[in-house]
Amino acid sequence: MYFLNNCITDWKHSTYMELMNDHYDSPWKEAIEHYFPEFMAFYFPDAYAGIDWTKEHVFLDQELRAVVQDAELGTRFVDKLVRVTELSGAESWIYIHIEVQGKRQAEFAKRMFVYNYRIFDRYEKPVASLAVLADEHKHWKPTSYGYNVLGCRHTLEFPAAKLTDYDEKLDELLASDNAFGLITAAHILTRQTRKEHQERYEAKLRLIKILYKRHWDKQRVINLLTVVDWLMTLPAWLDTKVWQEIETIEEIEKMQYITSIERIGIAKGQVEGIAKGRVEGETKLLKRQLERRFGALPAWATEKLSNASESALEAWGEAVLTAPTLDAVFSDRSDSMEK
């Protein structure tokens, strides 16, 4: 029993650590969708120049999941598929596949390769694959993957923006009018102030003051403040001080961007996002444990995992350690806890 409890504790700790690694997921996704042209202009200016921005761009996240659902090649940080119009050339519609990768991963370049050819196979249109590397390893920068066999060569080369390359450009980032200048600065400052609550509080307040000095429209300020708030998490007592400072700034500047209702909404969204991330993290880890014990999962088991509540995942996480079969893991006692 002591061994079993230790295993369960270790599994929960792993779940927690994976959740922390994936913590940046939601703000990055929302920022890319809100400010996609700025994202492209900031990280991939050459690609930005080749797109007709007078035409609509369309996010195809559900379509991307359908294309790559059985191609699990490491943990994804953020992946997006966008349909855009070329500025010139015979092809009008093209597809942009974006990966924001939060940690060094051996399978990453292979995933870019696999996703690229699967998307091409699905739509029969050119696919541009672009990577933003948000990990802390300065010298890890994969930009290609392929193979050469019997005279046949198949290679994908893709542009990659490395966030650590901006570490020495913090002042430039803080002076930028591009939303991703501020977001990149927030990412760098978040990394630099890990476990240093007072320093993070001061850095966060600095970013917020800069945000207010821009005199951007209200919704843009709210959106970017939400991203900064997500990235630069603080203990509750320091978070309260941040909101008090915001109220003071708004009084001095004679502007009101953040009402009490909107503040509650930001906080509520953060709590809901963390809860969702926790369930997703537990689902991923349990899936891996099940596959290690029982091999590839049948469709019915994958469906159960996709629709499970947190309590069901916890029960199955305990059962996987001792259950003799896959069916025994998903017993009736845990079925009752599914959504």
Let me know if residue 110 belongs to a domain.
Answer: yes
- Cα 66 to Cα 27, 62, 63, 69, 98: the distances in Å are 23, 6, 5, 5, 16
Which of 216, 239, 272 represents a domain boundary (last residue)? Answer: 272
Highest mean pLDDT among 37-41, 187-191, 301-305, 310-314: 37-41
The verdict on 178 and 161 lying in the same domain is no
Whole-structure pTM value: 0.69
pLDDT at 330: 81
Residue 53 has pLDDT above 70, yes or no: yes
Can you read off the two tokens belonging to residue 260? 């009490």
pLDDT at 7: 46
The verdict on 213 and 182 lying in the same domain is yes
Residue 332 has pLDDT above 70, yes or no: no
The verdict on 156 and 174 lying in the same domain is no
Let me know if residue 227 belongs to a domain.
Answer: yes
pLDDT in tens, 59-104: 988 888 777 765 555 555 678 999 999 987 655 789 999 999 988 9
Q: Give the C-alpha separation, 31 to 224, whole Å.
A: 8
Mean pLDDT of 122-146: 93
Let me know if residue 214 belongs to a domain.
Answer: yes
The verdict on 174 and 147 lying in the same domain is no
Residue 252 has pLDDT above 90, yes or no: no
pLDDT in tens, 162-189: 999 999 999 999 999 999 999 999 999 9
pLDDT at 334: 43
pLDDT at 195: 85
Can you read off the two tokens belonging to residue 46? 């050459």
The verdict on 159 and 172 lying in the same domain is no
Dihedrals phi, psi of 132, to nearest 5 degrees: -115, 120
Let me know if residue 329 belongs to a domain.
Answer: no
The verdict on 183 and 231 lying in the same domain is yes
Please give the share of the chain, as a percent, with pLDDT higher than 70: 77
Task: Report the number of distinct structural domains present in the chain.
Answer: 2
pLDDT at 264: 46
Residue 261 has pLDDT above 50, yes or no: no
Mean pLDDT of 98-121: 91
Q: Which range (115-124, 187-196, 228-237, 299-308) has the least confidence?
A: 299-308
Which of 165, 189, 219 represents a domain boundary (last residue)? Answer: 165
Q: Give the C-alpha separation, 179 to 43, whole Å.
A: 11
Which residues, other chains included, contact 118 with Cβ-Cβ below 8 Å and sequence gap of 6+?
67, 68, 71
Residue 243 has pLDDT above 80, yes or no: yes
pLDDT at 276: 57
The verdict on 117 and 148 lying in the same domain is yes
Residue 149 has pLDDT above 80, yes or no: yes
The verdict on 121 and 249 lying in the same domain is no
Range of the domain at 194: 166-272
Let me know if residue 79 belongs to a domain.
Answer: yes
Let me know if residue 297 belongs to a domain.
Answer: no
Mean pLDDT of 47-59: 92
The verdict on 56 and 152 lying in the same domain is yes
Question: What sign has the CA pseudo-torsion 30, 34, 40, 43?
Answer: negative
The verdict on 113 and 147 lying in the same domain is yes
Task: Read off the amino acid at residue 92.
Answer: S
Highest mean pLDDT among 6-15, 20-29, 76-85, 330-339: 76-85
